A and B are shown apart, each in its own frame.
Chain A
Amino acid sequence: MTAPAKTARPRLLGDRRTRVLAYLVLAAAVLVGIVVAGTLAQDAARTPHLDAVNKGPTAGDWFGTDRLGRDMFARTLVGLRLSLLVGTTAALASTVIAIVLASLSVTIGGWAETAVNWLVDLFLALPHLVLLILLAFALGGGTRAVIIAVAVTHWPTLTRVLQAQARQVISSEYVATSRALGTSTFRLARRHLVPHLLPHFVVGTALMFPHAILHEAALSFLGLGIDPTQPAIGILLADSMKVLSAGMWWLAVLPGVCLLALVKLVDSIGENLRSILDPRSYHL
């Protein structure tokens, strides 16, 4: 029997991969752009211009100005930068909690698994936002409190996913075979388990990110999060509520749309990463 030619891969797959990678690079560039612009706009966002208050959007001043004449475009950029900062830190902290708990429960099993499952159930049973508000309140508000509150409330779902994936690998026939052929536990973990979990880890972090951003905005909007003098998106939105009835729509709509666009961008990064790192579950 001769071996059929196995070298020719479908060209479409290569193209899709390239397209996705190009998109990811572009999206990452936009994120970096927001961070850089947000840093540069710090002063402009805080400087009042009392001669130009409550101006609507114009060609020269895209997002208009607020009641103190501060440039809303600059304030939005600073707000988005802060959202990204909080989102990244909280999502990363959350995934670290998830991966630690998932690997403990799978490798130790028994009591560790029971304890982790109990914790996951506990956190999933409590309403998300309520817990978030209570935590942020208990921690005394501020950026740090928001990061901790978001990190502490977002790990359960990812823990479940990682647990299930790890268990699937550990109980698989190929791991049993590998073990019978003399592969050590450490090598099994390194060669079979970690490469399998890595995509789920990366994608989990990327998909948790938008949640973290939205919850940061929600907490700040409710006045339980970031210091109200800071131009965070949630605070811009809360401020604009007071003047929305006076017809100053741009104060709410434009920063709000920007936040949605940022969330959508990060979410699409996550989904695109998933489509190349974990194609099977992506197409389910």
Chain B
Amino acid sequence: MTNLSRDLTTTPVATALTGTGLWFGYRNEWIIRDVTIHVAPGEVVGLWGPSGCGKSTLARLLTGRLTPAKGSVSSPPGRGRARSAQLILQHSELSMNPRWKIRDVLAEGAHDLRPVLDTELVHATWLDSFPHELSGGELQRVNLARALLSRPAYLVADEITASLDAISQVQIWRIILDGTTRGDYGVLAISHDMPLLERIADRIVAMHEVSQTPQEHN
């Protein structure tokens, strides 16, 4: 199958993940200044930027965890109550209730776990373990599996493999890119690791390019 993302870039804007003229700041300091970003269905967009430039804040704005001070975010309607754009974070252990078994963690994505159990994402032996009993790479795969179970239209992956070993990194990105090749979802991959982004992304946006207002240095 050819890369579907190329054919899908012309689909209506409503199915894309778009942030338009976003502003966000804490107290008096703007962190996000007039940022516009667009991810088409099935597309893998790499977002690169130095640390502290607001990449993670942008990820939270796009996934509805923060509300922009100005501007708007549009994404396709989610399945059921779940949001269509799911955020995955670097520290997977923080994304799971430490008192829950993996089985319950995954069930937050969908009650039927079979779609992920059949794949290389999750081992059935992990289901009765607690998050602290798994390694970082295993936990991040569980985290990804849970997001995929909710059948999102977009994954916003914020440095998800930054603290993992090379093998886990490759495994996780291979699984994610398999899905985008099938056209299941689009991905906004956030990283400060340019070589990684060059390998996985269809196009790369640098944070200072995204911002349309000249950045002030102080």
Do A and B interact?
A: yes
List A residues at the B interface (Cβ < 8 Å).
Answer: 1-3, 6, 172-174, 176-178, 180-184, 192, 195-196
Tell me, yes or no, whether B78 is within 8 Å of chain A by CB: yes
Q: How far is the CA of A131 from the CA of B180 in the complex (A)?
A: 66
Query: Would you list the 7 A-B pairs with minimal beta carbon distance, nearest first?
Result: A182-B81, A182-B82, A173-B94, A3-B125, A6-B129, A3-B123, A177-B95
Which of A178, A184, A196 counts the most chain B CB atoms within 10 A? Answer: A178
Excluding A3-B123, A177-B96, 13 further A-B contacts by CB distance (< 8 Å) are: A2-B123, A174-B95, A174-B97, A177-B95, A178-B108, A180-B63, A181-B86, A181-B108, A181-B146, A182-B78, A184-B81, A195-B99, A196-B99
How distant is B83 from chain A, measured CB to nearest CB, in Å? 5
Q: How far is the CA of A176 from the CA of B83 in the complex (A)?
A: 12
Tell me, yes or no, whether B65 is within 8 Å of chain A by CB: yes
With known contacts A3-B138, A6-B133, A192-B97, A180–B65 Cβ distance under 8 A: yes
With known contacts A3-B138, A6-B129, A195-B99, A181–B94 Cβ distance under 8 A: no
Tell me, yes or no, whether B80 is within 8 Å of chain A by CB: yes
Is the pair B82, A181 in contact by a Cβ cutoff of 8 Å? yes
Q: What are 19 inter-chain pairs, A to B, with CB distance below 8 A? A: A1-B137, A6-B129, A6-B133, A174-B96, A176-B65, A177-B95, A177-B146, A180-B65, A180-B87, A181-B108, A181-B146, A181-B150, A182-B78, A182-B81, A182-B82, A182-B83, A182-B150, A183-B81, A192-B97
Is the pair A180, B64 in contact by a Cβ cutoff of 8 Å? yes
B contacts with A, residue count (CB < 8 A): 32
With known contacts A173-B95, A174-B95, A180–B126 Cβ distance under 8 A: no
Which residues 77-124 of B sit at the A interface, judged by CB distance below 8 A? 78, 80-83, 86-87, 89, 91, 94-97, 99, 108-109, 123
List B residues at the A interface (Cβ < 8 Å).
Answer: 63-65, 78, 80-83, 86-87, 89, 91, 94-97, 99, 108-109, 123, 125-126, 128-129, 133, 137-138, 146-147, 150, 167, 171
How distant is B166 from chain A, measured CB to nearest CB, in Å? 13
Is the pair B126, A6 in contact by a Cβ cutoff of 8 Å? yes
Query: What B residues does A2 contact at CB under 8 A?
Result: 123
Chain B residue with Cβ nearest A173? B94
How distant is A165 from chain B, measured CB to nearest CB, in Å? 13
With known contacts A174-B97, A192-B97, A196-B99, A182–B138 Cβ distance under 8 A: no
Q: How far is the CA of A2 from the CA of B81 in the complex (A)?
A: 34
Chain A residue with Cβ nearest B123? A3
Query: What A residues does B126 contact at CB under 8 A?
Result: 3, 6
Query: What A residues does B138 contact at CB under 8 A?
Result: 1, 3
Q: How far is the CA of A182 from the CA of B167 in the complex (A)?
A: 32
Query: What A residues does B80 contact at CB under 8 A?
Result: 182
Is the pair B99, A183 in contact by a Cβ cutoff of 8 Å? no
Q: How far is the CA of A172 from the CA of B95 in the complex (A)?
A: 8
Query: What B residues does A177 contact at CB under 8 A?
Result: 87, 95-96, 108, 146
Chain A residue with Cβ nearest B94? A173
Is the pair B109, A181 in contact by a Cβ cutoff of 8 Å? yes
Q: How far is the CA of A172 from the CA of B65 in the complex (A)?
A: 12
Query: What B residues does A195 contact at CB under 8 A?
Result: 99
Q: How far is the CA of A124 from the CA of B152 in the complex (A)?
A: 49
Is the pair B81, A172 in contact by a Cβ cutoff of 8 Å? no
Q: How far is the CA of A202 from the CA of B203 in the complex (A)?
A: 55
Q: How far is the CA of A1 from the CA of B150 in the complex (A)?
A: 25
